[in-house]
Amino acid sequence: MTQMRTETDSFGSIELPQDALWGAQTARSLHFFAIGNQRMPLEIIHALALIKWAAATVNGQLGLLDARKEVAIADAARCIALGEFDEAFPLSVWQTGSGTQSNMNVNEVIATLANADTDITQDTRVHPNDDVNRGQSSNDVFPSAMHIAALRQTHTLLLPALHALHEALLHKAVSFKDLAKVGRTHLQDATPVTLGQEFAGYAAQLALCRSSIEHALQAVGALALGGTAVGTGLNTHPEFGARVAALLAEHLGLPLRQADNLFAAMAGHEALVGLHASLRMLAIALNKIGNDIRLMGSGPRAGLGELLLPQNEAGSSIMPGKVNPTQIEALTMVCAQVMGHDVAIGIAAAQGQFELNVYKPLIALNVQDSIRLLGDAMHSFTQHCLQGLQADAQRLEEYLQRSLMLVTALTPHIGYDRAAQIAKLAQVEGCSLREAALQLGFVSAADFDLWVQPRGMLGVV
């Protein structure tokens, strides 16, 4: 049976496990918000701990915190930021909309760890509110943690995965540059392209997405620190916010700064809405790219069969030898999830009333989930699908030679209507374009051979 201890706060006494590092406010949240199994993302917890480290350091520099407390708080916060006490943060993400309970969870754990420091005496015990949370409010700290976590994960996980995928697509574009194939519009045959041109197009789509994400990150670097409860900076030193942001920027190597308008930074979340809009844009592009490759790899005998997918695992529990586009399926499911997250984030961000948006945990959860899912999915797709992807040159050539839309090359010479008659006749009688053109008498054999050359229709390769 779990041994319990009693903690007391301004709301009275409450029991919690004897060995718990948290205190009464965390215990109350566990009791009153036993909702679902989604926990506050650890990226947010680690970002909160980093803020507590920087806050303690700045408060010490400003003479607002006892030196022994400063060191003890900073040391405990650094350990939490490194993930050494992740089990001490059990709160549901479905809590108060300001993230107050998770902020207090971090404050309480830091206080417990700090009070275990040998330099802390009974007279200098660290208080979670008065000391760890000095100069802060959940209302400015939690949104700042949301921004820091988003920046860190985007720079360390998502952008490297996006870069690797972009480079892999460029490599395929070069490898496939001489493979002419049927182009398709409306899922119908169109004039020729090269497989390399298609893959270069995919790479260009992702380059545009990367540019959009990088632009959005500029706004995410602005932190609400120093605003405290409503943006006025009540109960904090006027230099606190800017100095904490500067210290975090130096420590993390990220473009962090105090927001120009602290009221806007707490009441609205347009910066994260903009970032996630770029993630949604990336999801849209990835979904299109994935589905193109899925279709070109369909078959192997009853589909297009232009691409040969890597054979990573059994595709069916009943059909032996079946290979499915599983990496693409995983990627496109992630894209669907991200698009759904974007809807939820938009609704949540629109719900700010007066000085505070109170849907912060939902926004934090979905932004972090999208970054992590997209980063992991792109890495998996690159490693386990794209790098091993091969083209079936023979199938590409067969489709190209049979394409009715090669007739487009005749249009400048015999006009649109006559070219259309040739295509229709070839389709009805199942003959080649050349045979149909000669049967109708619209061109000579020599002119047809001169004018209808698939590789002369490719434009700039």
Find out whether 130 is annotated in a ligand binding site: yes
Peptide bond into 300 cis (omega under 30): yes
Cβ 126 vs Cβ 73: under 8 Å: yes
Instruction: Report the C-alpha gap between 213 and 216 in whole angstroms.
Output: 5
Q: What is the DSSP letter of 318?
A: S
Q: Is residue 137 annotated as involved in ligand binding?
A: yes
Q: What single string gives the DSSP state of each residue in 176-209? A: TTT-EEEEEETTEEEEEEEHHHHHHHHHHHHHHH
102 neighbors 91 (Cβ within 8 angstroms): yes
Closest-CA residue to 281 (of 164, 160, 157, 162): 162
Catalytic residue ranges: 186, 316
Q: How far apart are the first and last CA of the chain?
A: 73
pLDDT band at 337 (very low <50, low <70, confident <90, very high): very high
The CA-based dihedral angle spanning residues 434, 437, 442, 443, taken in that order and rounded to the nearest 10 degrees: 10
Residue 324 among known ligand-binding residues: yes
In this structure, the strands spanning 257-258 and 222-223 are parallel
| 278-317: burial string, b at 16+ Cβ within 10 Å, e else | bbbbbbbbbbebbebbbbbbebeeeebbbbbbbeeeeeee
C-alpha 458/C-alpha 292 separation (Å) is 20
- What's the mean per-residue pLDDT of the chain? 97
* Residue 37 Cα distances to 15, 17, 93, 106, angstroms: 22, 20, 9, 19
* CA–centroid distance for 80 within its chain: 24
Contact 271, 219 (CB under 8 A): yes
Q: How many residues make up the chain in this entry?
A: 461
Q: Is residue 2 predicted with pLDDT exceeding 90?
A: no
Compute φ and ψ for 351, nearest 5 degrees: -100, 15
**Is 139 marked as binding a ligand?**
yes
Q: In this predicted structure, which of 6-20, 161-175, 216-230, 332-346 has the lowest mean pLDDT?
A: 6-20
- What percent of the chain has a predicted confidence (pLDDT) above 70? 100
Q: What is the pLDDT of residues 85-105, one digit of tens each?
A: 999 999 999 999 999 999 999
pLDDT digits (tens, 9 = 90+) for 394-450: 999 999 999 999 999 999 999 999 999 999 999 999 999 999 999 999 999 999 999
CA atoms lying within 13 Å on the CB side of residue 449: 3
Q: For position 118, what pLDDT does the model report? A: 87
**100 annotated as belonging to a binding site for a ligand:** yes
Alpha-carbon distance 224 to 231, whole Å? 8
How far is the C-alpha of 34 from the C-alpha of 445, rounded, in Å?
A: 79
Residue 347's identity, in one-letter code, is I
The answer to whether the CB of 149 falls within 8 A of the CB of 248 is: no
Domains with residue ranges and CATH for the chain? 19-134 (1.10.275.10), 140-394 (1.20.200.10), 404-456 (1.10.40.30)
CA 24 – CA 92 distance, rounded (Å): 16
CB atoms closer than 10 angstroms to residue 415 = 12
What distance in Å separates the CA atoms of residue 170 and residue 409, rounded to the nearest whole number?
29
What was the pLDDT predicted at 191?
A: 97
Is 127 annotated as a binding-site member? yes
Q: What are the pLDDT digits (tens) for 67-76?
A: 999 999 999 9
